[in-house]
């Protein structure tokens, strides 16, 4: 069974202290958030320049409120951390037009009516592809397992959980097999956009990756417009030609968003679930006895170890949240991690139980901005986990007593490395 850290004695920190940048949070995050939820579930956080929400009812109410804003440009000046999420996007070598497109094209930062305008064709094309993608996902997973054949051990992150999402989205986009190595390298470098403490070298690599993606996708869109293929870029080009009000920049930058955010979070979903199963052998035994539980198991892993810790909204009016007055333009930072462990909603919330009665979690957010790639992430995790434990029935942690190395990326929850042995 997983062992819990001792109860947190001192008041929990604010600002980035409640993120993976803080070693204490990496070690005792759930205990810190339990304390915040119990003492002040809607807490003013001057370090973040907004309000920090930890109660399920408040979090779910905020993420499903379609009247709230997502665009950081609409936030007040105090919310520097929230502004930085959008300001980190443009490559410094971009010209003014490119910079504007990079900042304002991704749907993650859009509000209606532009959000609905751009999201609709993306969803139409993406969900059509996902609905027919299981054979391709199974082939990608089988190829990764084949590469591990005969290994006495491996790092589940680098050798399995990272390449599967990258290859899956590359397949959706119609990336040529010969281009996969650089596509994988770009994907690894581009996730540093989420790290405010990245080094100059990491920033240069990130900028190069983003430029590489943009050049590649811009060229691909031009080619697919002349000769459509069987891929997502072609589908979007066809929809655009048929009148869908979406620009080239919006197509390209949202494909980059799928690549970067989708790869990172699905990697963490797969690896977090593997860790949960290997530290909870009774739950793994349940899954092996009844493989039909795989969908419920993925949902429980999403709830218990959500890949995204925090998301945000901007108050579009003066309002009250959890009894607290929130002024227009103030930012509401919602802790998905805390909401998914609220004892008012989830019985024994820190327990991993794949047969738990279903209560909707908020791991993918909610409302108009619910994660557009959620169906793909679920499918990849379901296939990857079932196949992994079937291929390696004696899979175990290489050192069960070791504290696993967690990533220090703020607002995200995942491992840097997790070594396993095959038996």
Q: Are 74 and 329 in contact (CB under 8 A)?
A: yes
Q: How many Cβ atoms are within 10 Å of 416's Cβ, its own excluded?
A: 14
Paired tokens of 307: 């890949």
Task: Check whether 292 has a pLDDT greater than 50.
Answer: yes
Paired tokens of 84: 């930085």
Paired tokens of 286: 């349940």
Lowest mean per-residue pLDDT among 203-212, 297-306, 312-321, 332-341: 203-212
| Helices and strands in the chain: count of H runs, count of E runs | 16, 11
DSSP 274: H
Where do the domains of the chain lie? Answer: 15-421
Instruction: Identify the pLDDT of residue 8.
Output: 46
Q: Residue 175's pLDDT band (boundaries 50, 70, 90)?
A: confident
Predicted confidence (pLDDT) per residue in 17-30, tens digit? 999 999 999 999 99
Instruction: Identify the pLDDT of residue 423.
Output: 87
Q: How far apart are CA 294 and CA 292, in angstroms?
A: 5
Instruction: Identify the pLDDT of residue 44.
Output: 96
Predicted confidence (pLDDT) per residue in 106-155, tens digit? 899 999 999 999 999 999 999 999 999 999 999 999 999 999 999 999 99
Residue 415, sorted as left (phi over 0), alpha (psi -120 to 50) or beta, turns out to be: beta
Instruction: Identify the pLDDT of residue 304.
Output: 98
Predicted confidence (pLDDT) per residue in 362-400, tens digit? 999 999 999 999 999 999 999 999 999 999 999 999 999
Torsion of CA 360, 361, 362, 367, to 10 degrees: -10
Mean pLDDT for the stretch of residues 9-16: 83
Task: Check whether 2 has a pLDDT greater than 50.
Answer: no
Predicted confidence (pLDDT) per residue in 331-367, tens digit? 999 999 999 999 999 999 999 999 999 999 999 999 9
For the domain made up of 15-421, give the CATH fold: Cytochrome p450 (1.10.630)
Mean pLDDT for the stretch of residues 97-104: 77
């Amino acid at each position: 069974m997983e062992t819990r850290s001792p109860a947190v004695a001192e008041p929990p920190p604010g600002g980035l202290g409640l993120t993976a940048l803080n070693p204490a949070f990496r070690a005792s995050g759930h205990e810190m958030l339990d304390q915040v939820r119990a003492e002040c579930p809607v807490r003013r956080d001057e370090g973040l320049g907004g309000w920090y929400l930890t109660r399920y009812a408040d979090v779910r109410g905020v993420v499903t409120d379609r009247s709230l804003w997502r665009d950081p440009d609409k936030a007040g000046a105090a919310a520097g951390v929230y502004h930085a999420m959008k300001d980190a996007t443009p490559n410094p070598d971009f010209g003014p037009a490119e910079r504007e497109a990079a900042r304002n094209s991704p749907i993650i930062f859009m509000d209606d009516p532009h959000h609905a305008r751009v999201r609709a064709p993306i969803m139409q094309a993406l969900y059509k592809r996902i609905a027919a993608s299981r054979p391709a996902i199974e082939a990608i997973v089988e190829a990764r397992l084949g590469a591990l054949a005969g290994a006495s051990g491996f790092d589940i992150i680098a050798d399995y959980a990272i390449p599967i999402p990258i290859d899956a989205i590359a397949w959706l986009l119609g990336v040529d097999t010969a281009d996969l190595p650089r596509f994988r390298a770009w994907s690894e470098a581009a996730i540093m956009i989420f790290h405010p403490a990245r080094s100059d070298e990491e920033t240069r690599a990130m900028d190069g990756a983003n430029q590489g993606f943009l050049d590649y996708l811009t060229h691909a869109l031009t080619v697919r417009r002349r000769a459509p293929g069987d891929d997502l870029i072609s589908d979007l080009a066809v929809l655009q030609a048929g009148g869908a009000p979406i620009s080239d920049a919006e197509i390209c930058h949202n494909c980059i968003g799928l690549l970067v955010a989708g790869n990172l979070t699905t990697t963490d979903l797969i690896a977090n679930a593997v860790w949960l199963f290997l530290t909870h052998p009774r739950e793994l035994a349940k899954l092996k006895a009844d493989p039909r539980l795989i969908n419920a198991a993925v949902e429980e892993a999403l709830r218990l170890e959500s890949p995204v810790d925090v998301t945000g909204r901007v108050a579009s009016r003066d309002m009250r949240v959890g009894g607290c007055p929130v002024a227009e333009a103030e930012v509401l930072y919602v802790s998905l991690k805390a909401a998914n462990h609220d004892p008012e909603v989830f019985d024994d919330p820190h327990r991993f139980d794949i047969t738990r009665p279903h209560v909707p979690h908020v791991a993918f957010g909610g409302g108009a901005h619910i994660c557009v790639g959620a169906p793909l992430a679920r499918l990849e995790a379901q296939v990857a986990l079932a196949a992994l434990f079937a291929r390696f029935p004696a899979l175990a942690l290489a050192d069960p007593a070791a504290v696993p190395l967690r990533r220090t990326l703020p607002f995200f929850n995942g491992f840097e490395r997790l070594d396993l042995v095959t038996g």
